[in-house]
Amino acid sequence: MRIFDVLKRKSYFAVAAVSAILMLIVFPLIQVQASGGLQNIDLWFKVIPIQNLTLVIIFSIIFGAFLAFQIYNLKSKVCSIENKAASAAGGGLASLLGILVPACPACISIITLLLPASLGISIASIFIKYSTILLSTSILLLLLGIYLLGGFKKS
């Protein structure tokens, strides 16, 4: 598959690894900022369901691979503009959705800081209730982005 060929290159693997690690660091930091600050970071790791933690890790890894592959395709000009645009839109939506979803049930979404209190809390409660589904959807959107870029085609 083309994505593995790209990730075998040191520079693109480095982009994927650094962006995945940054996402793993930023993801909980954004969520604890919305629910009381950095002193709650230990709580985030204590109460997050194992399936959500697994999905966050998978999301971060696929996000890194997607970003590296998107950069490769932008530089190499081997993919159509329409597919690049669709992939960027899907990846952007996936990233936004993934960041807005509170993975731990004790956290609130960052969206609560952007909206009026009652509306933000209502939306956050929906995000919390369906967090596993929303994180899975984010992963599928990232995979769709890689597919649109031709990442799953044979080399």
pLDDT digits (tens, 9 = 90+) for 20-57: 999 988 888 877 776 667 777 887 788 888 898 899 89
Alpha helix positions (H), the chain: 2-7, 10-34, 41-47, 50-76, 81-100, 111-114, 117-129, 131-148
- Neighbouring residues of 27: CB distance < 8 A, sequence distance ≥ 6: 56, 59, 60, 98, 99, 103
On the question of pLDDT at 145 being above 70, the answer is yes
CA distance 36 to 108: 9
The pLDDT of residue 108 is 64
Residue 152 has which token pair? 């799953």
The pLDDT of residue 105 is 60
The pLDDT of residue 20 is 95
The pLDDT of residue 79 is 66
At residue 78, φ and ψ (nearest 5 deg) are: -100, -5
Overall residue count recorded for the chain in this entry: 155
Other CB atoms within a 10 A radius of the CB of residue 38 amount to 10
Residue with the larger pLDDT of the pair 134 and 9 = 9
pLDDT digits (tens, 9 = 90+) for 72-115: 888 877 666 776 677 777 777 777 777 767 666 656 666 666 66
The pLDDT of residue 34 is 67
